[in-house]
Amino acid sequence: MHTVIVYESMYGNTREIAEAIAEGVHQADPGAAVDCLPVAEADADITRTADLLVVGGPTHMHGMSSGLSRRMAATAEEHKNGQEEKAAEAREAVEGQGLRAWFHDLPETESGTHAAAFDTRGDTPGSGGAAKGIAHRLSHHRYDVIVEPEGFIVEGSDGPLRTGELDRARSWGASLV
């Protein structure tokens, strides 16, 4: 069994959730191969080999990120004191492609490969979520989305993750295999 986890992350929170999901998959199936990759490194050669494809990204403007929201995310962090690491991660992320562009290049799967979608988001009413759009795109590429889209909560726009969310991500990852 080969699990591929692909994430987009501007400030590192979605990356942390993706890594926790990878740990959960590994705990549930120690013999399984697990690759956890940022969108920039997840090319067709690797997604083609997946038995389970898990895709996640940050919620921007109630849905998936766009070129504009990604630039806004990078700019917002440039002006905060003491957030140099996050600003650098956002700068690097904005230079690469986001999930929308990545989906354009993702080949359709012929086999109905299992898949799941997640996002990170705030906890205010009507905050929306990116995971629904991600799940929709996975289905569109003929993946078999096996669970409801899942959201993991950040306390502020650039984090941190709410206490307990990493454990919840590990459990969610374990439940997928």
Ligand X SMILES: Cc1cc2nc3c(=O)[nH]c(=O)nc-3n(C[C@H](O)[C@H](O)[C@H](O)COP(=O)(O)O)c2cc1C
Which residue, 64 or 109, has its beta carbon nearer to ligand X? Answer: 64
Question: What's the min distance (Å) between Cβ of 65 and ligand X?
Answer: 8
Contact between 80 and ligand X (CB under 6 A)? no
Span of 53-61, 101-109, 110-118, 131-139 interacting with ligand X by CB under 6 A: 53-61
Contact between 13 and ligand X (CB under 6 A)? yes
Question: What's the min distance (Å) between Cβ of 127 and ligand X?
Answer: 3
Contact between 54 and ligand X (CB under 6 A)? no
Contact between 18 and ligand X (CB under 6 A)? no
Question: What's the min distance (Å) between Cβ of 52 and ligand X?
Answer: 21
Question: What's the min distance (Å) between Cβ of 67 and ligand X?
Answer: 11
* Residues 81-140 close enough to bind ligand X by CB under 6 A: 120-122, 127-128
Contact 55, 138 (CB under 8 A): yes
Q: Would you say how long the chain is, in residues?
A: 177
> DSSP assignment of 48-80, as one string?
TT-SEEEEEEE-BTTBS--HHHHHHHHHHHHTS
Span of 23-31, 46-54, 57-65, 168-176 interacting with ligand X by CB under 6 A: 57-65
Question: What's the min distance (Å) between Cβ of 168 and ligand X?
Answer: 15
* Cα(8)–Cα(1) distance, integer angstroms: 23
Contact 76, 157 (CB under 8 A): yes
Q: Which of 4, 6, 14, 165 binds ligand X (CB under 6 A)?
A: 14
